[in-house]
Every structure is written in C-alpha cells, then in structure tokens.
A = this chain, B = another copy of it.
Amino acid sequence: MELLKEKILKKGNIVEDNIIKVDSFLNHQVDVELLNEIGKEFKKIFRDEKIDKILTAEVSGIAIAAIVAQYFHVPMVFARKTESKNLDKEIYKSEVYSYTNGITYSIRVSKRYLKEGENILVIDDFLANGRAVEGLIDIIQKAKANLVGIGVVIEKGFQLGGKKIRDKGIRLESLAIINSIKNGKIRFE
C-alpha cells in the first residue's frame, strides 16, 4: 500500500538498525484518515470472504481494528491484556511473549463474544515474531471459530512471524513488508 509506505518513510522514526517507531501515526498518536485508507484496503483484499467479526488484541490493534470493522459492517472484539474485575469469568485465554518488553502476558476473550463457526478476520498493527497473532489464533481455535485470515499493517519481513504463519497455510496479508532497516534506510519487499 503506497500511501502507507510513504507515511512510514516520512514519519517513521528509526531508533536503531531493525527498529522503527510509528507512534506518530499508528500506535500512540493515530492518523485516522490513514486508518480509513487502511480499512478500505483490507476490505478490498478480503472482499470475497465472509467475515462475521474482527478480532484484535490490546493495545495498539484497537484503533485500527475499530476503523477497519466499519468497512466490513461487523462488530470488533479486542482481546483483553489488562486484568479487570469487569471481565467475565468464562473466557478463552492464551499466553503471549513480548520480545519488546521481555515479559509474558495473557490475552483473554469472553466466551460470549467468540462463537463456534464464526468467521474471524484478525487485524493487528505490527507483525514481527508473530507471538501476539499466534495468541489470537490459539483463542480462535479454542472457541472453534473459523480463522478467515490475518491483516497486518506493518510486517517486519526479516523476522520469522510471517513465514511461520504462512507455512501453516493461513492467509496473511500485510500492507507493508519491511525487509531491512539499516544505516537509517528502510527497504520494503
């Protein structure tokens, strides 16, 4: 997606080799006009699929998934990371290891909001090692729902997450795949 790649080149903040921050438009400050274009793009990509629900995970997936869901006219569900007294007791749960922060956390979805046979599109902001997405896939399987595909805004192509998921035969669509970030230069696939 050209507009997204331009945005990454213009507004992405390269911290060091292989690390880029996109918090000026994607996961802290959010450019909603760009998210709308992202929503249209995912709708175009998955236009032939029957989708009943969009699933994402706290935190940075939420804004994107909410806006994407508008184009599919379906509800969005976000897996909860934070524990809360308000969460149902009956939940599907999975563990996710975060390489960024070096900790394992749980994600949870109430059994009421993910049903057997529902067609689920997973949306997330970033795919690197793929742990967050694998946690969501695990939850979908536990619910016996049907994973239609995964839409990711930015994939780090030089990490293993994308390959692992595609090798399982899962349809993974990334709007921008970064193949390297080196000496202040970003290369896309």
Contacts and interface: CB of A to CB of B under 8 A. Distances in A.
A83 B101 CA distance: 9
A32 B76 contact: yes
Contact of A63 (B63, B81, B82, B112): B63
Interface string A49-67: 0000000001100110111
A35 interface: yes
A144 interface: no
Interface stretch (A20-28, A135-143, A146-154): A20-28
A114 to B, nearest CB: 9
A27 B58 CA distance: 11
B36 A87 contact: no
A23 B86 contact: yes
Closest 7 CB pairs of A and B: A63-B66, A29-B113, A62-B62, A30-B76, A32-B69, A29-B77, A66-B66
Interface of A: 21, 23-25, 27-33, 35-36, 58-59, 62-63, 65-67, 69-70, 73-78, 80-88, 100-101, 109-110, 112-113
